[in-house]
């Protein structure tokens, strides 16, 4: 996800530790840094740690949870991953590696005192990749897992974009988008305009960009491009061949994740809903939630379906 505007300021930093927020030290090969976490609610049997997308976005677009989870009695934690949002933002490319992010999540879990009696890990988009990897390494600490709007295979994601989504686009506009990407001119206003018109309003959030809710506007505005480009690449229509996530594929490993798991897909998503349904089938205790009116941010454009299904899954955990 790329920022919607270069002109939005990151307001609210003075209140970064207010209202249940704290900083957690995280050890890395490049030293110890601080990441920002904020708790909402109080339920010692049901605690959800939210992993945002990007890579390099922030917790902000997930604030849709505030309209649903508190009333459902669910305790949840917003969390800006290292390099994002209110967390430290070191300029060290060696830190933007998937195994290091997994280790970071484990350190955050330990600091928050989450365990298998309460801990549900939720990941949306890139956060879904991170959640899958965490479950493969540390599922003994999980009570449940939620993978939202993310396929288990980047090559399959790229194939879906090339074979399904791109042919649906205006082909002259697509050619212009690809030309600007090839020229490295992805900050050009025309590039962003084309993405908004041809891609975002159809597959990211199905409403005019000017009407996008404030949490989404902030989440896009505050993305860290250094992380995004390093791990995903500069393109908005797939993951680049030279990006760090280009070959990521955990489809065959899903059968080893034995905790209850919910996979959320949507009809208009950038991710293939059929692939995500198949993911749920591969997970031994998997369930699938389909959002028929939703896109990549189905928590906004198919909100009732999304949160009814998510809360139902969380409340039904054994």
Query: What CATH number does the domain containing 139 carry?
Result: 3.40.50.1820
Does residue 56 sit within a domain? yes
Residue 98 host element (H or E): helix 98-112
Q: Is 269 a catalytic residue?
A: yes
Does residue 238 sit within a domain? no
Indicate the pLDDT class of residue 8, thresholds 50, 70 and 90.
very low
At 156, is the secondary structure helix, strand, or coil?
helix
The answer to whether residues 53 and 190 belong to one domain is: no
Q: Is 295 a catalytic residue?
A: no
In the chain, pLDDT over 70 holds for what percent of residues? 95
Q: Which of 231, 264, 285 is the C-terminal boundary of a domain? A: 231
Q: Which of 231, 262, 287 is the C-terminal boundary of a domain? A: 231
> For position 133, what pLDDT does the model report?
98
The answer to whether residues 35 and 112 belong to one domain is: yes
Does residue 12 sit within a domain? no
> For position 14, what pLDDT does the model report?
37
The answer to whether residues 149 and 163 belong to one domain is: no
Q: Average pLDDT of the chain?
A: 93
The answer to whether residues 172 and 309 belong to one domain is: no
Angle between helices 98-112 and 126-138 (to 10 degrees): 70
Count of structural domains within the chain: 2
> Which one is catalytic: 52, 59, 203, 296?
296
Indicate the pLDDT class of residue 82, thresholds 50, 70 and 90.
very high
> For position 184, what pLDDT does the model report?
82
Does residue 140 sit within a domain? yes
Average pLDDT over residues 140-165: 98
pLDDT at 276 over 60: yes
Does residue 138 sit within a domain? yes
The answer to whether residues 30 and 114 belong to one domain is: yes
Does residue 200 sit within a domain? yes
The answer to whether residues 142 and 163 belong to one domain is: no
Does residue 5 sit within a domain? no
Does residue 243 sit within a domain? no
The answer to whether residues 56 and 181 belong to one domain is: no
Average pLDDT over residues 238-257: 96
Backbone CA torsion sign across 232, 292, 166, 205: negative
pTM equals 0.94
Contact 10, 86 (CB under 8 A): no
The answer to whether residues 81 and 45 belong to one domain is: yes
- The shares of helix, strand and coil residues in the chain, as percent rounded to the nearest 5, are 45, 15, 40
The answer to whether residues 149 and 295 belong to one domain is: yes
> Which one is catalytic: 84, 87, 118, 125?
125
pLDDT at 204 over 60: yes
Average pLDDT over residues 176-204: 90
Q: Is 94 a catalytic residue?
A: no
> For position 11, what pLDDT does the model report?
38
Range of the domain at 194: 157-231
The answer to whether residues 29 and 141 belong to one domain is: yes
pLDDT at 9 over 50: no
Among the ranges given (41-45, 169-173, 179-183, 296-300), the one the predictor scored with the smallest mean pLDDT: 179-183
pLDDT at 223 over 50: yes
pLDDT at 6 over 90: no
> For position 183, what pLDDT does the model report?
86
The answer to whether residues 63 and 186 belong to one domain is: no
The answer to whether residues 92 and 108 belong to one domain is: yes
Residue pointed to by tokens 């740690």: 49
Cα–Cα distance for residue pair 309/236, rounded to 1 Å: 28
> Which one is catalytic: 80, 88, 103, 269?
269
Contact 203, 296 (CB under 8 A): yes
Q: Which of 201, 231, 261 is the C-terminal boundary of a domain? A: 231
> For position 250, what pLDDT does the model report?
98
Indicate the pLDDT class of residue 74, thresholds 50, 70 and 90.
very high
Contact 285, 260 (CB under 8 A): yes
pLDDT at 19 over 80: no
């Amino acid at each position: 996800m790329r920022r919607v505007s270069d002109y939005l300021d990151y307001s609210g930093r003075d209140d970064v530790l207010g209202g249940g927020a704290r900083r957690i030290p995280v050890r890395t090969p490049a030293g110890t840094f601080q990441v920002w976490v904020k708790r909402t609610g109080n339920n010692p049997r049901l605690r959800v740690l939210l992993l945002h997308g990007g890579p390099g976005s922030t917790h902000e677009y997930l604030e849709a949870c505030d309209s649903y989870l508190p009333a459902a009695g669910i305790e949840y934690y917003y969390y800006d991953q290292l390099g994002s949002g209110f967390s430290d933002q070191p300029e060290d490319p060696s830190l933007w590696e998937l195994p290091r992010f997994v280790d970071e999540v484990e350190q955050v879990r330990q600091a928050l005192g989450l365990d298998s009696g309460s801990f549900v890990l939720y990941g949306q988009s890139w956060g879904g990749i991170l959640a899958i990897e965490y479950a493969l390494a540390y599922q003994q600490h999980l009570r449940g897992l939620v993978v939202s709007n993310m396929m288990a295979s980047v090559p399959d994601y790229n194939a879906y974009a090339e074979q399904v989504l791109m042919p649906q686009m205006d082909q002259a506009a697509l050619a212009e988008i690809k030309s600007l990407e090839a020229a490295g001119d992805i900050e050009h206003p025309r590039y962003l305009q084309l993405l908004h018109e041809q891609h975002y309003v159809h597959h990211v959030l199905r409403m005019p960009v000017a009407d996008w809710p404030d949490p989404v506007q902030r989440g896009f505005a505050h993305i860290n491009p250094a992380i995004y480009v390093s791990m995903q690449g500069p393109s908005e229509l797939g993951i680049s061949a030279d990006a760090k996530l280009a070959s990521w594929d955990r489809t065959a490993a899903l059968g080893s994740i034995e905790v209850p798991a919910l996979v959320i897909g949507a009809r208009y998503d950038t991710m293939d809903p059929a692939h995500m349904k198949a993911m749920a089938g591969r997970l031994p205790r998997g369930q699938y939630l389909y959002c028929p009116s939703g896109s990549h941010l189905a928590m906004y454009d198919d909100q009732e379906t999304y949160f009814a299904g998510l809360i139902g899954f969380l409340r039904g955990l054994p």
